[in-house]
Structure 1
Amino acid sequence: MRPGDQAGGAADVDLLYAFESDRGRIINSAAIRRLQQRTQVFPLERNAAVRSRLTHSMEVQQTGRFIVRTLYAQLGDRAADYGLDGLQSALESLVEMTCLMHDIGNPPFGHFGEFAIGEWFERALDGLFAVALPQPPDNDELHAQMRADLRNFEGNAQAVRLVVNLQRLRLTYTQTAGLLKYLRPAYQPTPDKGSANAYLNKKPGFYLSEEGFVAGLQQALGQCPGTRHPVAYIMEAADDISYCLADIEDSVEKGILGVAELAPLLIDTFAGMQSPDVQIPGSRHSFRGLVNQALESYQQEEINKAGEFFVKLRVGMIHPLVQHAARQFIDNIEAVYSGTLDRALIEDDSLPHAIVQTFKDVAMARVFCHREVETLQLQGYRILQGLLDNYGALLRVDAQTFLDLTEGNCRREAHLQMLVRRLPSQLLKAYRQAVRECGEADRAAWEFYHRCRLLQDFISGMTDQHAQDEYRTLSAL
């Protein structure tokens, strides 16, 4: 079932055909194409061998497919007991496309870009609201929700917004549900660590602007509010498995780490959590044996030495991690099916979890804080803040003036006319429609909310290169 379909009207549509339609819509979308010029770890990277968001997402897609196939291999005839019999091809497509889409909401310059956008709105929003809405609000609670919502820019929530209200992909509810990795609206506070469902709600999952859609999705799929779709658990595991090693491999490609230095560092880090000499479940090797085998291949290889090291390491690591993720799905299948498992599939005290955590810890200690990476992140921060400073002027005019600007009817504010003409027409149309659909109650507040969303949509939708070029243009550099 898709948004806009009548209940029961899609009953005769073949499930695999529906997901194939989703697949075509996703792969051919501009949101996927933009990932090729978005940061994975290294912003504005010119070396094509270093991963972009697109190549990372393709690797996650492949790992997600592998998890589904392993899940069915482990279930065997028991697949029918869980209502999964005959659905492998459909589930593979569903998981693959969820994995491919999982980062489409990420802004330029990665997670630091998220921080830059959120920090600008945190600093400026109260003053902007006071100018836009000088009269005391009719609904204090709604205004507080709007301000909190706009301060919490988050890539996962932006992905839902892109699919639903900007790209208008009209995916099946099931396909879109896989993107809801986190379950709280952005206006709600972060729950205390250790509280009920703290993991499922640790980040915003959707914005106020998509709250009605999410409620409709949950009703259509029979999901209880605050619960995940099972596909989201598989996508999350595929992402964890893929990026933990990929970030390290890219750092070697960049010359930040060398293989001879990396190998003992991995073993020592792993030893802080588990014994590196215990056999890994689903493997013939211990972690030390896995790393040493890859190091031996590296030493014997004459041409592509680093490539050989990571091929051996990846092959030896991926299989037991995928098997563990599939086992965790099955062992916790009731909580996974109900969407209440309050952790990631690989987030436990197991050896496979220690493998993933080892790569994450090494990347955090030796890659993300490297001077080159931090310099690029600081440049990205300055670029996004500068763009928001420039385009933020559009938030300081009254609603009628802004509407006139978007329709070309304003004969004053020449510099604002020029700024508006640089905004994508698609985003302006989405803004106008959102405003038209506002009720009369708190209309002024909703107009300003959607105007702020328009600015966030514009900045977050840029590629790294577009953001840099636009900043240079407006700064006359």
Structure 2
Amino acid sequence: MDWKKLLTPQRLGKSESEDIHWDRTCFQKDYDRLVFSFPFRRLKDKTQVFSLSTNDYVRTRLIHSLEVSCVGRSLGRMVGCEIVNRHKLDRDGFSAADFGDIISAACLAHDIGNPPFGHAGEDAIQIGFESWFGNYDNSVEKLLNDSQKADFELFEGNAQGFRTIAKLEMSPRLGGMQLTCPTLAAFTKYPRESFIPEHILNGYSGSSVKKYSFFQAEKDLFTQVAETVGLIRRNDSVAWWSRHPLAFLVEAADDICYSIVDIEDAFRMGYLSFHEARNLLQDIAGLNLKNKEEAEIIKHLRAESINKLVTKAAEIFLDYEPKILSGEFDRDLLSLGSYAQNMEEIRKTIASKVFQHRDVLRIRIAGYEILGKLFAKFVNAALTNSEKGKLISYLLPEEYRSNSDEDTYSKILKITDYISGMTDSYATSLFQELSGISLG
């Protein structure tokens, strides 16, 4: 891959590139468009870890996205400074700031497609689809092909995010928000479709195939993005590319933030003791702070830990840059660094002490119940002609209602658009109303 093409200031849906020399660059405009978008604002009431929390200190998905964006900007500028020098990109008008702006915008959008209740919400939609699908006879299989089924059976917030920014927001214009192709490619951590036969994957286990990042409905749009920035196509018979190099830094920024910040939030919520939180952060931060309040010590260790991890991620990226550009490298950057064991210990601790805490489990279980049943109710309403189904359909905002000429796949996609766009509070309230628990 070639950096000049990877950074091309071409917007999805537009025929001509923008001038990168403007004081307010095209990549800065990407960031601004995201900040002012409705889907981004909804993240203020979406679960990061602690759903519907009454503690106003802990992070929502909106705050998490802003923090990841800040870390991503730093990573981008650190890496960009060296890459610009290595490849003489300044001759073509590129600067380290461009790297920071692209990654910052991609990080800002990285969770924009996530449904309510975090990963439990994704699982709930998958289960809701399987439950609905299992209640129909074999004839329904003719209405969805294997690739379309996989979009729902393996429902992904990442793919919903690409659909949101590249099609739904600012529709019906081509390209949706019309972000630049470098930002969209950096956003796409898993540049593959949902269904790839095993004989094509052939045991491939790189980080970029753990999930997928676009639905069948947006496959052509991502193909345009991939071809514009020059991603390496891994197989001609399926939609599967190597990552844009900057996607590795988007992933690292997200990993750094949720790992380190979850420790601080868990301490604030009382799920981790001061000694547990301090010990997890101290080895990374390299500090032994005393004579301060416990909360101040954890805050200081959190800040220094993030700084150390950002520096290490940038070093690893620059070391592996040739293999990244050739498509050979496909691993989590920090899994190769000196802090890999620390990060693994943090993940295990958070999994056992936080994600399995009774308070968190209770909300996650509720999320399964709420979203799974809402999905099933609205899909049934969209695809059947029952009297109750008609009533439920009338509750849908007009843009999510099915048209008679739409196929089954498109009708279900509209429901996932509606469900994914909900906030935690709205989904809970709507579920209570439809279940007769509350009459509003």
Q: 1:378 to 1:208 in 2, by over 3 A?
A: same
CA distance in 1, matches of 2:111, 2:393: 28
Q: Is this contact kept in 2: 1:166–1:427, CA < 8 A?
A: no
List aligned pairs for 1:261-276, cutoff 5 A: 261-264=276-279, 266=280
CA distance in 1, matches of 2:374, 2:410: 18
Give 1:290 shift: 3.0
Gaps of 5+ in 1: 268-285, 402-412, 437-445
Pick which of 87-96 and 463-472 moved more. 87-96
CA distance in 2, matches of 1:287, 1:158: 37
Q: Is this contact kept in 2: 1:132–1:396, CA < 8 A?
A: no
Q: Secondary structure at the match of 1:206?
A: coil
Max Rg structure: 1
Question: What residue in structure 1 maps to residue 4 of structure 2?
Answer: none
Gaps of 5+ in 2: 1-9, 170-175, 234-240
Q: Is this contact kept in 1: 2:284–2:308, CA < 8 A?
A: no
Q: 1:219 to 1:262 in 2, by over 3 A?
A: closer
CA distance in 1, matches of 2:206, 2:14: 34
List aligned pairs for 1:45-444, cutoff 5 A: 45-72=53-80, 77-78=85-86, 80=88, 86-128=94-136, 130=138, 143-167=145-169, 168-188=176-196, 195-225=203-233, 226-264=241-279, 266=280, 287=283, 290=286, 293-294=288-289, 296=290, 300-302=291-293, 305-306=294-295, 308-348=296-336, 350-397=337-384, 413-428=386-401
List aligned pairs for 1:24-43, cutoff 5 A: 24-43=32-51
CA distance in 2, matches of 1:469, 1:337: 48
Q: In the alignment, residue 432 of structure 2 is paired with which amino acid?
A: R
CA distance in 2, matches of 1:312, 1:184: 39
Q: 1:261 to 1:152 in 2, by over 3 A?
A: closer
CA distance in 1, matches of 2:45, 2:199: 34
Q: Is this contact kept in 2: 1:60–1:100, CA < 8 A?
A: yes
Kindly provide the CA deviation profile for residues 269-300 of structure 1, in whole angstroms up to 9, marking residues without a partner as x.
Answer: xxxxxxxxxxxxxxxxx828836x14x2xxx2
Q: In the alignment, residue 34 of structure 1 is paired with which amino acid?
A: R
CA distance in 2, matches of 1:11, 1:461: 31
Give 1:396 shift: 3.7
Q: CA RMSD in A?
A: 2.8
Identity among equivalent pairs (%)? 31
Give 1:311 shift: 2.2
Q: Secondary structure at the match of 1:51?
A: coil
Give 1:224 shift: 2.1
Q: Is this contact kept in 1: 2:162–2:214, CA < 8 A?
A: yes
Question: What residue in structure 1 maps to residue 431 of structure 2?
Answer: 471
Q: 1:11 to 1:43 in 2, by over 3 A?
A: closer
Give 1:186 shift: 1.1
Q: In the alignment, residue 245 of structure 1 is paired with which amino acid?
A: I
What TM-score results when the alignment is normalised by the length of structure 2?
0.86
Kindly provide the CA deviation profile for residues 255-276 of structure 1, in whole angstroms up to 9, marking residues without a partner as x.
Answer: 1122034435x38xxxxxxxxx
Give 1:25 shift: 1.4
Kindly provide the CA deviation profile for residues 371-427 of structure 1, in whole angstroms up to 9, marking residues without a partner as x.
Answer: 111111111111112212322322442xxx6xxxxxxxxxxx553333223223333
Q: In the alignment, residue 112 of structure 2 is paired with which amino acid?
A: I
CA distance in 2, matches of 1:63, 1:91: 13
CA distance in 2, matches of 1:75, 1:84: 13
Q: 1:191 to 1:169 in 2, by over 3 A?
A: farther
Give 1:347 shift: 1.5
Give 1:79 shift: 5.6
CA distance in 2, matches of 1:425, 1:48: 34
What TM-score results when the alignment is normalised by the length of structure 1?
0.79
Aligned residues: 414
List aligned pairs for 1:445-464, cutoff 5 A: 447-464=407-424
Q: 1:77 to 1:87 in 2, by over 3 A?
A: closer
Q: 1:203 to 1:75 in 2, by over 3 A?
A: closer
Give 1:30 shift: 0.9
Q: In the alignment, residue 272 of structure 2 is paired with which amino acid?
A: L
Question: What residue in structure 2 maps to residue 18 of structure 1?
Answer: 26
